[in-house]
Structure 1
Amino acid sequence: MLLPRLTDARKELRRTQIAEAAVRCFSRNGLERTSIADITAESGLSTGSIYAHYRNKADLVQAAAREVLDKRAEAIGQYAAADVPPDPDELLSRLIAAIDPAEARVGVQTWSEATTDPAVRDIVVDMTDRMRAMVHECVTAWLVKVEHDEPARAGERATPIAHRVMALYQAELLYTAMQTPTEGTAS
């Protein structure tokens, strides 16, 4: 009996389901202590299904990081496209308000792994650079649309502002990760 092939949309849904299960496992158990078997159990899928979508755990770490970044990217893109983009303080407030404690724990664990694992480091550097670029774009839009700066000047002025917004956002991620107990842990 032949099994029906998954459509591209269904494949993407399955990948998202697996990545979300990985985030929950990584948050609860840590990156190092989470196995593919844990992710299989959490997702409700077969091991074969996991490996049909991801080569290994490093792929899942990358997918989990991208899943989180994609959520932020969508919101930041909407902010930048608004008639009145948020000022840097408001942008930071909105980013902080959107922090999910489980995602914060995974983010901090990923940063830690990046200090010893070059593949994870590449993921972290790429994701951080992409997020900083999106914040820069939003700050630039605010400077042009609200502060009426020339685009070139706005881009220059936005660089240190975006850097500070990112630094404060990452500090809040760390704070959230440290303040929020994992499931099954006494508070």
Structure 2
Amino acid sequence: MQGMAVPRLTDARKELRRAQITEAAVRCFSRNGLERTSIADITAESGLSTGSIYAHYRNKSELVRASAHSVLAERAEALGEYAASSTPPDPDELLARLIAGIDPIKARVAVQTWGEATNNPAIHGIVVETIDGMRAMVHESVTAWLVKVEHLEPAEAQQHATAIAHRVQSLYLAQLLHTALQSPDEETAP
């Protein structure tokens, strides 16, 4: 065996593998709940070895954080596009777009994570970080709308955007909860 090179994963391949593991974790968390999901469940769901899972994530808490960051990254991309647009959406349209992007599986994981945050400090930190990040992105999008469409001065727009962004995010989170509480039959009903 001496002299055999061990293949190394490229950075792109590592990111693909991490995404594969995170997606498997989200499916398991949605189906079994955070508490009842084990690394063995995630291993089986991902089709990878336990060693591969642990090569990318030290524990389940890291997987929860990665899952939250994954969902936030999706929202960040969309919100960034809205803010960069020459005519960003008004708050009602922004809320409608955010709601249209809710994935029922990820909504269930989000709500489970919120529940776990009440008694697990590590998960609490993840939830606070995720919600604060989302709030900042919604604020940025609303500020862009106030400046580009409503023609407010940037400082005034920043100030006005705070209350508007808070309402938009609150309504979005309420819809996320509603979606998470729907049964799978209700999700597919017209």
Write the mapping of 1:29-108 to structure 2, written as runs, cut at 5 A: 29-108=32-111
Residues 122-141 of structure 1, C-alpha deviations (whole Å, 9 max, x = no match) = 00000100000000000000
| One-letter amino acid matched to 1:8 | D
Runs of 4+ in structure 1 displaced over 2 angstroms?
none
Q: TM-score, normalised by structure 2?
A: 0.94
Letter aligned with residue 118 of structure 1:
P
Question: Which of 5, 9, 20 is the matching residue for 2:8?
Answer: 5
Higher Cα radius of gyration: 2
Q: Write the deviation string for residues 52-74 of structure 1: whole angstroms up to 9, x where unpaired.
A: 00000000000000010000000
1:1-187 alignment, distance < 5 Å: 1-181=4-184
Taking the aligned partners of 2:183 and 2:164, their CA distance within structure 1 comes to 28
RMSD after superposition: 0.9
Which ranges in structure 1 are unaligned for 5 or more consecutive residues? 183-187
1-side partners of 2:117 and 2:7: how far apart?
A: 39
CA-CA distance at 1:51 after TM superposition: 0.1
CA distance in 1, matches of 2:171, 2:131: 13
Answer yes or no: is the 8 Å Cα contact 1:76–1:138 preserved in 2.
yes
Distance (whole Å) between structure 2 residues aligned to residue 75 and residue 180 of structure 1:
27
Long gaps (5+) in structure 2: 186-190
Structure 1 residue 181, shift from structure 2 partner = 3.0
| Residue deviations 1:94-126 (CA, integer Å, cap 9, x gap) | 000000000000000000000000000000000
Q: Secondary structure at the match of 1:148?
A: coil
* Partner amino acid, structure 1, of 2:146: L
Residue type matched to 2:80 in 1? G
- Count matched residues: 182
| Contact in 2 for aligned 1:144/1:151 (Cα 8 Å) | yes
Q: CA deviation at 1:180?
A: 3.3
Tell me the percent identity.
74
